Each structure stands twice: as structure tokens, then as C-alpha cells.
Amino acid sequence: MQVTTTFRQMPSSDALREYAEGKITKLEKYYQGLIEARIAFSAGKTSQKAEVTVKGNGFRVRGEESAEDAYAALDLVVDKLSRQLRRQHDRLKDHHGTASAKRTVEEGRPRRREASARREGLLRLTYAPKPLFLDDALAQLEGEDRYPLLFVNAETGAVNAVFRNADGRVGVIEPE
């Protein structure tokens, strides 16, 4: 797993960087498909903040916490991420007997098709939506600004979409 550490408004520390990389690599015991982790430390007037984004095969989890020192903030955010990763891992184990939860990364991402002759210049994407709960879809959307996230609502079985408006508000599209 590739780990990138950034220090904002505070001096960089090799000891903190090594501590952070050690804590983040331990997250792989909860989920084997982790690809990349980005850690950002920043200092405020009275507290220090740790922000961590972890990308895996077809998902992204993010957390941030503040504490009096950067080590404590990192410990808090790693605990939060471990809970999220454990929950993600449990959902992929397919407790409900649906084969759609075991889709590969390629099935969960848009693929390009060639435009037809009568619709010149039209880019068509195909997408196999994953079964997610609304809260999980909102968590995945949190770090993305590209396009709406389509998913099969695990509660209703209907295809839904979550999106972010230009003003930053989040919306959901549900069928009638």
C-alpha cells in the first residue's frame, strides 16, 4: 500500500511519519484490498488534526479527528477507519446470499462504449451498480467530485443515485 503523509501549518516529523505509516499499514488486517492512503496533519491554535483517506478496490473511506497532539488524533482516526473497514469487509462477505455483493472492481466502474453513428459525439458509460446502504453511498461520495454515484439501495432493492450540487449540498435520486 502506498502511504503519503502531508504536514500543514506544522513542521514535518520523521517520527510522526513513521508512526502514522505503521498505524495505517495495520489497517490491512481488516481489508486486504487497500491500495493507497493519504494522511494530512494540521495544527490549530489549541489542537492538532489528522485527516486520513484510504482507497481500496472499488471504495474509499475517510476520517478526521482532532486532539491535543497529532499522535492522539491519529489514533482516534485509525480507530474510526478500522470500524469502517471492518463494516465494509463484513458487507462484502455477502451475509444476505446475494451474489451481486461479490462483484469485481471492473463491474463496479463505468466502461466506455463507442458512440453510435446517429449520435455523433455522445459518450456512453455503462455501470453495474453495487448494493449499498444509503449511509455507505454518502460516505463514498464524500471524497469524490466527478459524477453521481449509482447504487442499488440494499434496503429497497431499487437503483438510487447520490450527487453533490455546485453549492456543496448532497442529494439523492430515488425512483417512485
Choose one of 44, 67, 92: the last residue of a domain.
92
What are the backbone angles phi and psi of residue 162, rounded to the nearest 5°?
A: -115, 145
For 30-55, what is each residue's pLDDT tens digit?
777 788 999 999 998 899 999 999 98
Choose one of 92, 121, 150: the last residue of a domain.
92
Mean pLDDT of 143-165: 80
Write the CATH number for 24.
Answer: 3.30.160.100
Quick check: pTM over 0.85?
no
Q: Which residues on adjacent β-strands are paired with residue 75?
A: none
Mean pLDDT of 119-132: 73
**Domain assignment of residue 156, given as a range:** 99-173
Write the CATH number for 109.
Answer: 3.30.505.50
**CA–CA distance, 61 with 54 (Å, rounded to integer):** 5
pLDDT at position 95 is 56
Mean pLDDT of 62-69: 93
pLDDT at position 69 is 93
pLDDT at position 111 is 52
Categorize the per-residue pLDDT at 91 as very low, low, confident or very high, splitting at 50, 70 and 90. Answer: confident
